[in-house]
């Protein structure tokens, strides 16, 4: 921060981006050691790095911007003597703003998809497959290794599905209908309720992938905006602020592209709630019927995402919110003329939704059962608790966080990410409402859920309650998503109120309250920074306390425009390019290695492949790259143990505790007499495989892709080399 011109970097502040590796200081160098213990990177450390002129100017600009914001707030407050009615936007103009925002989102979604734009990090495959710079197709930002569950996991699975003609079963994913539990396109009736998948049936891969990817942000922003506008009494500006605050939050952006389809899940959650409000309040019967159809589609979309660690808290939040909305509108509901028609639509939509969910469960029940009995993630029974209270406030100090720089107590940047915790502001506003005998059922319902959820996160539930509510499937840290959504809903409800006409407090009292707020935030952020291991310098903690005291003050006064500028500008700047903006899929379609492998797969589509090599990132990732061609491949990501592999390599189930999990599998050459397994991470294990024909024949392997192995070491009796490119050698089994 200010006045500091050099940075001392010690070994304990350097982290490897790959799980399982270690960083060790050795005199004046740092060694980054791989899983096998070999040193992969040696880095010389100078005494310090001189701060650049740009960095100094940027830090100074933060202080200048803060002072300018304070001045803007003072000037804005000076104009408060004007009539409150002059600042009110008419209902007609609100509808115009709403329509413009919805049309803009639809047009942006279509244009981005037709232009083949996406946020995938698959350009990284150019490093691991073709040994080229990962810049092809990039327009803004850069791909990040930490998003491996997308570019190594989900996207190669999608390409595999396309190459396999969208089959419901894919051995590279798991047994049976496992693709349906991983949000992959497949020829199954459930795709009727997943519009993001329709492109895979009607257009080319790159356009289909763009329509699939862009649906993530489109569904989240559209659903959040529509529901928050209804909650905010039709205020489109407040709803847009809430939707953008949610969308650009660190947690959403760093978890954006996981196989859980979290953005689609959140979008479906909001559309489900909005459809209920549409059924209950729309004046046209056609609109009510449309709400019924949307209720069916959003329910199916939400359930099909199939990730209970997020879904269960959101379901409970939905129940609280439905109760709050019903209580808030109880008088109008009783007097409604078309109440009977609305009940008919709601009943029919509810019954059809239950039938669709039941039919889906019938098809996937076997896959769910197999996952439930695995050591990971199935055999998890959580009663919550154990989360430090400071974890709720860490995002306030993490605006400089990147994939390579995050708090040392966190496994990676994704686990460190969160949301700005604004629930305390809502709680104080609720306290003021109590003093004024003013009760808002929606705010009360949101706060009630937040209190219960935070109790689970901090202290946990009794075993019986955890099991009865379904929270036994939820980790404490995952509940932060539902808590933050509830906070934003309550905030938008509060901001959507009409301006109070009560007499304002004197300037002296306001300044005293503002000073007290700064001191409270300073104490909280200081404790939080200690929990983070001193992630931010003391001067940064101080500036952050002042800045967010200003933010909370503007929100308290419902100065939406000022608050939006203060919060959204740094939030968007910090998180907008967590996922890059790229065009098409050059990491695959522009890859020489991908086309070479695909040609061999097409020549023998039923052949089984094995990818093997010394421990390295390349060996670790390339099995998924081969799967993307549609090949039946041993290794890589799989949702459950491969029974063919177990029968061939561990018929006595000696290593069952290691492979009984959803995991990434890495095959390494071994000189031992028999294959062996070693667990290296909760979702990663190695298979040490002797390169002997007897084991390969048991597996039924036709092709062996060897990665950077010496010719003598990689020679296998009965297999002939048929090609070699960029450190990759392909062997094919000789004809019998």
pLDDT in tens, 95-134: 888 999 999 999 999 999 999 999 999 999 998 999 888 8
Check residue 27 and give its pLDDT.
Answer: 64
677-689: per-residue pLDDT in tens?
Answer: 999 989 999 999 9
**112 CB neighbour count, 10 Å cutoff:** 20
- Provide the pLDDT confidence category of residue 616 given band limits of 50, 70 and 90: confident
Domain definitions of the chain by residue range: 6-50, 66-80+90-115+194-575, 588-733
Radius of gyration of the chain from Cα atoms? 28
In terms of pLDDT, which residue wins out, 537 or 62? Answer: 537
pLDDT at 378 (0 to 100): 84
Arithmetic mean of pLDDT, 70-79: 60
Instruction: Give the SS3 label for residue 269.
Output: helix
- The CA distance from 729 to 614, in Å, is 13
- For residue 594, the surrounding DSSP H or E stretch is helix 592-603
Confidence band of 369 (pLDDT split at 50, 70, 90) = very high
pLDDT of residue 612: 95
pLDDT in tens, 283-341: 889 999 999 999 999 999 999 999 999 999 999 999 999 999 999 887 766 556 678 89
Supply the pLDDT for residue 379: 83
Residues 572-579 have a mean pLDDT of 92
Cis, bond preceding 237 (omega within 30 deg of 0): no
Q: What is the mean pLDDT of residues 499-508?
A: 68
Instruction: Return the H-helix or E-strand segment holding 720.
Output: strand 719-725
Mean pLDDT of the chain: 89
| Percent over 90 (pLDDT), the chain | 70
Q: What is the pLDDT of residue 93?
A: 81
Parallel, antiparallel or unpaired: strands 39-44 and 49-50: unpaired
What distance in Å separates the CA atoms of residue 576 and residue 548, rounded to the nearest whole number?
20
Q: What is the pLDDT of residue 3?
A: 42
| Residue 5 pLDDT greater than 60, yes or no | no
On the 0-12 / 13-18 / 19+ scale of CB atoms within 10 A, 38 is exposed
Closest CA to 135 of 586, 593, 575: 586
Express each pLDDT in 246-282 by its tens digit: 999 999 999 998 888 999 999 999 999 999 999 998 8
Cα–Cα distance between 571 and 418 in angstroms, integer? 12
DSSP type of residue 458: H
């Amino acid at each position: 921060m200010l006045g500091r011109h050099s940075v001392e970097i010690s070994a304990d502040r350097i982290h490897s981006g790959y799980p399982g590796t270690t960083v060790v200081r050795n005199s004046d160098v740092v060694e980054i050691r791989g899983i096998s213990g070999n040193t992969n990177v040696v880095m010389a450390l100078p005494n310090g790095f001189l701060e650049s002129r740009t960095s100094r100017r940027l830090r100074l600009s933060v202080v200048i911007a803060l002072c300018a914001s304070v001045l803007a707030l003072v000037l804005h407050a000076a104009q408060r003597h004007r009539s409150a009615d002059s600042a009110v936007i008419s209902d007609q103009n609100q509808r115009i703003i709403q329509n413009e925002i919805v049309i803009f989102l639809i047009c942006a979604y279509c244009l981005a998809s037709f232009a083949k734009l996406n946020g995938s990090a698959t350009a990284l495959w150019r490093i691991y497959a073709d040994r080229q710079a990962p810049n092809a197709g990039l327009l803004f930002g850069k791909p990040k290794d930490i998003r491996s569950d997308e570019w190594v996991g989900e996207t190669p699975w999608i390409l595999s599905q396309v190459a396999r003609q969208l089959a419901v079963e894919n051995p590279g994913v798991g047994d049976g209908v496992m693709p349906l539990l991983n949000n992959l396109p497949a020829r199954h009736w459930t795709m009727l309720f997943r519009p993001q998948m329709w492109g895979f049936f009607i257009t080319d891969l790159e356009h289909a992938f763009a329509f699939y990817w862009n649906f993530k942000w489109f569904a989240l922003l559209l659903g959040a905006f529509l529901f928050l506008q209804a909650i905010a009494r039709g205020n489109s500006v407040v709803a847009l602020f809430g939707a953008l605050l949610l969308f650009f939050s660190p947690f959403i952006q760093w978890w954006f592209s996981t196989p859980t389809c979290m953005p689609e899940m959140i979008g479906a959650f909001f559309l489900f709630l909005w459809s209920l409000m549409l059924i209950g309040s729309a004046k046209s019967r056609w609109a009510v019927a449309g709400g019924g159809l949307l209720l069916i589609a959003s329910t199916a979309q939400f359930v099909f995402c199939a990730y209970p660690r997020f879904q269960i808290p959101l379901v409970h939040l939905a129940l609280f919110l439905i109760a709050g909305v019903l209580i808030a509108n109880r008088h109008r509901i009783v007097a409604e003329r078309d109440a009977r028609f609305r009940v008919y639509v709601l009943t029919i939509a509810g019954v059809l939704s239950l039938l669709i969910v039941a039919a889906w469960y019938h098809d996937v029940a076997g896959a769910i059962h197999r996952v439930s009995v695995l050591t990971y993630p199935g055999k998890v029974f959580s009663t919550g608790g154990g989360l430090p209270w400071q974890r709720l406030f860490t995002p306030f100090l993490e605006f400089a966080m990147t994939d390579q720089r995050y708090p040392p107590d966190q496994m990676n940047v994704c686990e460190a990410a969160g949301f700005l915790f604004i629930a305390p502001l809502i709680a104080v506003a609720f306290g003021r409402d109590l003093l004024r005998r003013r009760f808002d059922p929606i705010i009360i319902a949101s706060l009630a859920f937040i209190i219960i959820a935070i109790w689970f996160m901090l202290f946990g539930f009794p075993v019986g309650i955890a099991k009865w509510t379904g929270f036994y499937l939820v980790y404490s840290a995952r509940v932060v998503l539902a808590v933050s959504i509830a906070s934003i809903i309550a905030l938008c409800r509060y901001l959507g109120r009409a301006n109070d006409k009560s007499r304002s407090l004197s300037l002296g009292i306001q300044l005293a309250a503002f000073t007290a707020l700064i001191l409270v935030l300073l104490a909280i952020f200081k404790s939080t920074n200690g929990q983070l291991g001193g992630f931010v310098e003391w001067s940064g903690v101080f500036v952050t306390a002042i800045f967010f005291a200003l933010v909370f003050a503007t929100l308290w006064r419902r100065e939406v425009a000022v608050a939006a500028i203060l919060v959204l500008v740094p939030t968007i700047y910090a998180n907008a390019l967590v996922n890059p903006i790229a065009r098409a899929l050059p990491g695959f379609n522009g890859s020489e290695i991908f086309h070479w492998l695909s040609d061999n797969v097409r020549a023998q589509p039923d052949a089984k492949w094995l990818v093997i090599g010394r421990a390295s990132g390349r060996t670790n990732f390339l099995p998924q790259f081969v799967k993307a061609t549609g090949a039946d491949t041993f290794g890589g990501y799989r949702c459950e143990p491969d029974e063919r592999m177990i029968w061939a390599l561990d018929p006595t189930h000696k290593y069952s505790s290691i492979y009984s999990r959803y995991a990434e599998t890495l095959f390494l050459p071994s000189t031992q007499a028999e294959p062996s397994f070693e667990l290296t991470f909760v979702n990663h294990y190695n298979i040490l495989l002797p390169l002997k024909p007897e084991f390969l024949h048991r597996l039924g392997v036709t092709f062996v892709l060897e990665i950077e192995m010496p010719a003598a070491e990689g020679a296998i009796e009965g297999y002939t080399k048929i090609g070699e490119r960029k450190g990759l050698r392909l062997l094919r089994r000789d004809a019998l």
